[in-house]
């Protein structure tokens, strides 16, 4: 596994956050790359300081998150979510690629959407041992090695539908000309109904939601990292046809208008 140098996506108020916690990303072993996007580790030490509220825009991904005495599987989160960091702590997470948790459990992912499920309920008591083992370590790469040994023990067989989901997700994410489910339907020669069924089962959310979320994540990431394009150019690049629609979408997810968000980020 290697350190992942990509900037974290979806983390709001990035510059302020850096003053309160560290976030390290690691790529998975090659054999797990089909399923795992990355591992993430958050550390903070705010003893003697005020607690810090970390705000995040979720991706269409499932996370297996290890916290002391409360490790859980988090389905896709629909709206912005916040975590209050206080005193001192560590959280270790596994971010699955969109659709890639389904082959591990063979349960429709819409049952997980918006839910935090104790990891033992899905994988059994072995999760208590894994949690204890992870937090007995201080070296991050040793933590990941331990997590990967568990993942290798339950790695599913190759899933051709998952490969198709990956291709669709990548197109949604990288092509700003994809703005509707009909665009995806035409490109992949799949009916809208088939796409909706696949996404409900594998991703847990509608394809329309995924397209919209990737567009807004791109905006939020640019604003958080202090590199916004001129508004009209940014809106056009993201496939919006009018500014009011863009502002409405942004505010519905982030909770503030783009201008308000920029002011708070400075």
Let me know if residue 223 belongs to a domain.
yes
Read off the pLDDT band of 176 (50, 70, 90): confident
Tens of pLDDT, residue by residue over 220-240, are 777 766 655 666 676 776 667
Tens of pLDDT, residue by residue over 158-169, are 899 999 999 999
Are 100 and 186 within one domain? Answer: no
The size of the chain, in residues, is: 266
How many other C-beta atoms are found inside a 10 Å radius of the C-beta of residue 34? 17
| Sequence-ordered list of residues with C-beta below 8 angstroms from that of 8, at least 6 positions apart, any chain | 14, 23, 25, 40
What is the structure's pLDDT at 1?
57
Are 124 and 225 within one domain? Answer: no
What is the structure's pLDDT at 225?
62
Let me know if residue 6 belongs to a domain.
no
Tens of pLDDT, residue by residue over 181-207, are 999 999 999 999 999 999 999 999 999
Are 37 and 116 within one domain? Answer: yes
Are 27 and 107 within one domain? Answer: yes
List the structure tokens of 223: 């604003």
Asked which of 154, 175, 194 is the last residue of a domain, the reply is 154
How many other C-beta atoms are found inside a 10 Å radius of the C-beta of residue 7? 12
List the structure tokens of 14: 């990035």
Read off the pLDDT band of 41 (50, 70, 90): very high
Asked which of 104, 132, 154 is the last residue of a domain, the reply is 154
Read off the pLDDT band of 251 (50, 70, 90): confident
Kindly report the backbone phi and psi dihedral angles of residue 246, in degrees, each rounded to the nearest multiple of 5, phi listed first: -60, -50
Are 233 and 149 within one domain? Answer: no
Are 204 and 227 within one domain? Answer: yes
CA gap 132, 130 in Å, rounded: 5
What is the structure's pLDDT at 83?
86
Q: Tokens 């969109």 sit at which residue?
A: 98
* Residue 96 C-alpha from the chain's centroid: 8
Among candidate residues 154, 62, 155, 53, the one with its CA nearest the CA of residue 117? 62
Are 22 and 140 within one domain? Answer: yes
Let me know if residue 9 belongs to a domain.
no
User: 56-60, 154-158, 231-235: which has the minimum mean pLDDT?
Assistant: 231-235
What is the structure's pLDDT at 265?
59
Are 31 and 81 within one domain? Answer: yes
Are 198 and 255 within one domain? Answer: yes
Read off the pLDDT band of 172 (50, 70, 90): very high
The SS3 assignment for 94 reads strand
Are 228 and 170 within one domain? Answer: yes
Read off the pLDDT band of 62 (50, 70, 90): very high
Tens of pLDDT, residue by residue over 94-137, are 999 999 999 999 999 999 999 999 999 999 999 999 999 999 99
Are 178 and 121 within one domain? Answer: no
Q: Which domain holds residue 202?
A: 160-265
CB 261, CB 252: distance < 8 Å:
no
Question: What is the value of pTM for the model shown?
Answer: 0.89
Let me know if residue 8 belongs to a domain.
no
CATH of the domain at 226: 1.10.10.60
Asked which of 133, 154, 175 is the last residue of a domain, the reply is 154
Kindly report the backbone phi and psi dihedral angles of residue 124, in degrees, each rounded to the nearest multiple of 5, phi listed first: 90, -175
Let me know if residue 107 belongs to a domain.
yes
The SS3 assignment for 42 reads strand
Are 232 and 187 within one domain? Answer: yes
Let me know if residue 7 belongs to a domain.
no
Is a pLDDT exceeding 60 seen at residue 38? Answer: yes
Let me know if residue 5 belongs to a domain.
no
| DSSP 8-class letter at 36 | E
What is the structure's pLDDT at 7?
62
Kindly report the backbone phi and psi dihedral angles of residue 107, in degrees, each rounded to the nearest multiple of 5, phi listed first: -125, 140
Greater confidence, 14 or 19? 19
């Amino acid at each position: 596994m290697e350190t992942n140098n990509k900037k974290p996506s979806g983390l709001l108020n990035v510059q302020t956050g850096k003053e309160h916690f560290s976030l390290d990303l690691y790529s998975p072993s090659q054999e797990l790359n089909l399923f795992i996007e990355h591992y993430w580790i958050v550390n903070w030490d705010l003893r003697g300081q005020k607690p810090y509220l970390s705000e995040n825009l979720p991706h269409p991904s499932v996370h297996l998150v290890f916290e002391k005495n409360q490790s859980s599987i988090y389905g896709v989160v629909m709206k912005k979510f916040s975590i209050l960091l206080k005193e001192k702590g560590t959280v270790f997470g596994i971010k699955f690629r969109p659709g890639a948790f389904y082959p591990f459990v063979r349960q429709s992912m819409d049952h997980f959407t918006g839910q935090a499920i104790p990891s033992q309920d899905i994988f059994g008591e072995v999760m208590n041992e894994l949690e204890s083992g992870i937090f007995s370590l201080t070296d991050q790469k040793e933590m990941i090695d331990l997590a990967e040994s568990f993942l290798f023990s339950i790695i599913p067989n190759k899933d051709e539908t998952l490969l198709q989901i990956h291709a669709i997700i990548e197109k949604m994410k990288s092509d700003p000309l994809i703005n509707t489910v009909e665009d995806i339907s035409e490109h992949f020669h799949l009916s809208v109904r088939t796409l909706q069924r696949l996404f409900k089962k594998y991703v847990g959310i509608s394809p329309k939601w995924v397209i919209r979320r990737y567009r807004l994540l791109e905006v939020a990431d640019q604003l958080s990292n202090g590199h916004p394009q001129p508004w009209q150019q940014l809106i056009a690049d993201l496939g919006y046809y009018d500014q009011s629609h863009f502002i409405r979408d942004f505010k519905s997810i982030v909770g503030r208008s783009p201008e308000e968000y920029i002011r708070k980020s400075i």
